[in-house]
Structure 1
Amino acid sequence: MADFAQLRTTMVDTQVRPSDVTKYTVIDALLSVPREAYVPSGQRAAAYVDGCVPLGAERVVLDARTLAKMLDALDVQKDDLVLDVGAGLGYSSAVVAHMAEVVIAVEDDTDRAAEAQSNFNEQGVDNAIVHCGPLSEGAMAHGPYDVILVQGGVQQLPDGLLGQLKDGGRICALFVEGALGIARIGYKLDGKVNWRFAFNASAPVMPDFEKHRAFEL
């Protein structure tokens, strides 16, 4: 049987710490949350590999490095209300729940949403709530949010989602431009989101966040 605790420590020591992730809260959360409990049961042996874990339909559990660097850049605080878009089976939300006050985990697949809620219950994560609905619509009823985190590649972000960010809040998304992926942090000031480069990474573009080409004759 795999020693998941050791694999988790190795993941942090070899994938996260060397990537300039230094915030104790991020390291502690990654060491505390059993990643294997939040991936498809047939892929638990691969839960700690250096890469994304496929969930199907262009959806993944982001690799530990990318998630850690996102959280490091977002500087999540204990009193933050966080929207986690594309939570999958709940891993990212469980990690953020260690750092924030409340996490709203958005998932559009009813089976994945139910499994995420079951995972939270089994793991004693009582400050994460699953919201089932279109990813691009977020969860307006619970907002506005201090932090928004998007768990996959995007080509564009809908205004309705950006509108759920508090003034003074921040958002992290991985913009995919051709073969390149660039994680950017957005800071909302006076109703407008200003984006800054964070780091390079890659992930599949989520279906709700593809750029629609204008019709051409």
Structure 2
Amino acid sequence: MTLPYNRPADTTDAHATARFHMVQQQIRPWVVQDVRVLDALEQVRREDFVPPANYEQAFMDVEIPLGVGEQIMLAPKVDARMANDLAIQPHERVLEIGTGTGYSAALLGRLAKEVLTLEINPELAELARENLQSAGADNVSVRVGDGAKDALAEGPFDVIVLSGSVEVLPESLLNHLKDGGRLGAIVGQEPMMRFTLVKRQGNERITTTPWDTVAPRLSGFARAERFVF
């Protein structure tokens, strides 16, 4: 159920006002209606997770480079729509692949009971830990790891989120879903990728592809088979 969403009372804080406009002008038009997601976007200070060189872009509808390979912060509307469509509940455990600076993990932590996020780059993982600690995200754990290969003794999970794109859905991660669990990933090849939502129901998997976007690759995941003539 969605609820009315109102302008914050404190309009003297320039960042609070910028977040409000980000939500109203960028995110809500992208069919993000879950009031818990909207509240998380207001509570998590995105500007605290943005690299200093890109500080002025904190509330813009753009991807922000992290200075490590092709790794980026997703545009805020993409983070928001993924969280909205995954319908994360307060009792659920979430696995995120691709921590970056920790912003999406902080949002997930506002929605879930517990979040484990894996980051392949040790320097980014340490930065994310610092950011998340400063943000008070005590239910988020950051681990240096390869989400495409590492064993996950903590599973199965209620929700798995890939904060980047893959060419094909990773079967190994699908096996870590609980019954009733959901996996969200951006799947495909440029110029056309789709957010793909997989719901596990017993031995069956129900897959939908509700919207299009494009995002840089996550490292280490399998590539789609290609025909050779």
Task: Give the TM-score category using the shorter length.
Answer: over 0.9
**3-state SS in 1 of match to 2:72:** strand
Selected match of 1:176 from 183, 188, 193: 188
**3-state SS in 1 of match to 2:220:** helix
Selected match of 2:71 from 59, 63, 68: 59
**3-state SS in 2 of match to 1:140:** coil
Q: Deviations over 1:35-63 (max 9, x none)?
A: 11112222121111111111232221111
Q: How far apart, CA to CA, are the structure 2 residues paired with 1:78 and 1:31? A: 18
- How far apart are residue 209 of structure 1 and its match? 2.8
Q: TM-score, normalised by structure 1?
A: 0.92
Matched, 1:16 2:22: no
Q: Deviations over 1:134-168 (max 9, x none)?
A: 12136612211000011011102332211111121
Matched, 1:45 2:53: no
**Alignment: residue pair count:** 216
Q: Deviations over 1:17-76 (max 9, x none)?
A: 111111100100001101111122221211111111112322211111111111111100
- How far apart are residue 213 of structure 1 and its match? 4.7
Q: Does the Cα contact within 8 Å between 1:58 and 1:207 map onto a contact in 2? A: no
Quote the sequence identity (%).
Answer: 32
**3-state SS in 2 of match to 1:44:** helix
Q: How far apart, CA to CA, are the structure 1 residues paired with 2:166 and 2:150? A: 14
User: Root-mean-square deviation (CA), in Å?
Assistant: 1.9
Listed as ranges, the gaps of 5+ residues in structure 2 are 1-12
Selected match of 1:33 from 44, 47, 62: 44
Which residue number corresponds to residue 111 of structure 1?
123
**3-state SS in 1 of match to 2:90:** coil
Q: Does the Cα contact within 8 Å between 1:136 and 1:157 map onto a contact in 2? A: no
Q: How far apart, CA to CA, are the structure 2 residues paired with 1:184 and 1:103? A: 20
- Shift >4 Å, 4+ stretches: 212-217
Which residue number corresponds to residue 136 of structure 2?
124
Matched, 1:79 2:88: no
Q: How far apart, CA to CA, are the structure 2 residues paired with 1:39 and 1:210? A: 29
1:82/1:66 Cα in 2 relative to 1: closer, same or farther (>3 Å)? same
Q: How far apart, CA to CA, are the structure 1 residues paired with 2:147 and 2:46? A: 22
Q: How far apart, CA to CA, are the structure 2 residues paired with 1:66 and 1:122? A: 24
Based on CA coordinates, which of the two structures has the bigger radius of gyration?
2
Selected match of 2:164 from 145, 152, 156: 152
| Greater fraction of residues in helix | 1
Q: How far apart, CA to CA, are the structure 1 residues paired with 2:44 and 2:146? A: 26
Q: How far apart, CA to CA, are the structure 1 residues paired with 2:205 and 2:162? A: 15
| Paired amino acid for 2:46 | R
Q: TM-score, normalised by structure 2?
A: 0.88
Matched, 1:6 2:6: no
Q: How far apart, CA to CA, are the structure 1 residues paired with 2:52 and 2:220? A: 26
Listed as ranges, the gaps of 5+ residues in structure 1 are none
Q: How far apart, CA to CA, are the structure 2 residues paired with 1:209 and 1:156? A: 8
